[in-house]
Amino acid sequence: MTSNVLITIICDVISFIITAWLLFLNVRHGKKHDTLDRIFSGMLIIILILAVMDAVVAVFGFHVGYDTSITEMLFATGNETMTTVLCLVWMIYVNYRLYHSRDYIMRRFLLVTMPLIIILVLTMVSSVIFHGTGVLKAARITAVFFFALVALRFIYFLVSVFRLYQYKKQSGTMRYFKISFLVIPVIVTGLLGLFVDGAFRVTGYAVGFGLLYLTIYREQILTDPVTGFYSGRYSKRLIALSEKNDVSVGSFMCFKFSDAAALEGFAPKLAGLISQDAYVIRTQPDEVAVLTVVSEKSLVHMIIEDVRAVSGESGMEVCASYDLRQKDESAKEFLTRHFPL
């Protein structure tokens, strides 16, 4: 066994262990965004498969050529294809993370996956057809399809970057804050898929997704596990970020319920009554604060009206409503009391 093969196997084994552990954690801890969990688990499974295939290719010396067996050809082709599939799923993950919309993904699903399916089929077919012919042109034809697979990775990477850019342009600083942690993983994994080969690519993916998982997990521990609302610690980050960037967090509404159980019962309804871009924070067991990213009195008025109309017998009362841009003494005092920075 050469040193190259040994290094490859070690890298693949490390990648396998890291990824299997991440998959175990992700499945075990069961987060609120089920679709995102499933997509993330899917990506980890693809990395596991990649690690195995890469190790097999390295150990047995599989390669694509007119003098190799069909099994070798298919293994080597499959290895390259799985990386492109990973880039595709990563693009779907980024889209879903940004817009939380299955409709957007399903409407374009066939359009997005068809090129990959076509190229994969053509690559496999040409590999098999031209195998053993000894014809150099055949090898070149197959190489074109391999190149197409790499080009597809580039397209998926570009789409992910474009979507992030589009979201930032449309949403502004405070909304972008929610997904800004995606930027570096997107760029790093995209570049890995294009410029790095073999075991180092797989290891890079495993480490990259490990870092991504840490970010997601960090967000989870800033989330109240029962209601899914952010905890008070998250709001401190938010307010600090808004002050640092001189961006207004907007308006602040506080709803107090008769007790924690009443709040937890009302929590599923609250999400549908506020705007999508608002932050909902559980400040006390029986109290919720809603932060809007714009200071629009009519929006505050609508939210309070709708929450009151739906609150029913939860004993809810509106205990505060501030325009944070005014920065008056009562707003400052309330913020300091609930979110000491």
Q: Minimum distance between the CB of residue 72 and another protein, rounded to whole angstroms?
A: 41
For another protein, give the closer residue by CB, 94 or 139: 94
Q: Nearest-CA neighbor of 45 among 8, 82, 100?
A: 82
In sequence order, the 6+-apart residues with CB closer than 8 A to the CB of 156 are: 84, 87, 88, 90, 91, 190
Nearest to 156 by CA among 79, 83, 216: 83
Question: Quick check: 183 binds another protein (CB under 8 A)?
Answer: no
Sole binder of another protein in the list 44, 57, 253, 278 (CB under 8 A): 278
Nearer to another protein, 260 or 294 (CB): 294
Instruction: Please spell the DSSP secondary structure of 114-159, one letter per residue.
Output: HHHHHHHHHHHHHHHHHTTS--HHHHHHHHHHHHHHHHHHHHHHHH
Which amino acid, one-letter code, is at 28?
A: R
Element counts in the chain: helices (H) and strands (E)? 11, 5
Contact of 207 with 198, CB cutoff 8 Å = no
Would you say 171 or 215 has its CB closer to another protein? Answer: 171
Judged by CB under 8 A, the residue of 293, 316, 331, 335 near another protein is 293
Span from 39-47, 231-239, 286-294, 312-320 in contact with another protein (CB under 8 A) = 286-294
Cβ neighbours of 260 (radius 10 Å): 15
Give the interface segment with another protein, choosing from 100-108, 137-145, 176-184, 232-240 (CB under 8 A): 100-108
> Shortest Cβ distance from residue 98 to another protein (Å)?
8
At 277, give phi and psi (nearest 5°): -90, 0
Backbone angles phi, psi at 212, to 5 degrees: -60, -45
Contacts of 9 (CB under 8 A, 6+ apart): 55, 58, 59, 199
Q: Does 272 bind another protein (CB under 8 A)?
A: yes
Nearest distance, CB of residue 15 and another protein, angstroms: 32
Among 4, 133, 275, 330, binds another protein (CB under 8 A): 275
Residues 145-174 within binding reach of another protein (CB under 8 A): 163, 166, 170-171
Residue 294 C-beta: closest distance to another protein, Å:
6
For Cα atoms 174, 178, 181, give the angle at the middle one, nearest 5 degrees: 120
Among 45, 306, 308, 321, binds another protein (CB under 8 A): 306
| Shortest reach from residue 91's CB to another protein, in Å | 12
Determine which residue in the list 297, 327, 328, 333 makes contact with another protein, applying CB under 8 A.
297
x-or-dash string of contact with another protein, 223-262, rule CB under 8 A: ----------------------------------------
Residue 290 has φ and ψ, to the nearest 5°, of -115, 125
CA distance 176 to 226: 25
Is 327 a binding residue for another protein by CB under 8 A? The answer is no
Binding site for another protein (CB under 8 A): 95, 98-104, 107, 163, 166, 170-171, 272-278, 292-299, 301-303, 306, 325
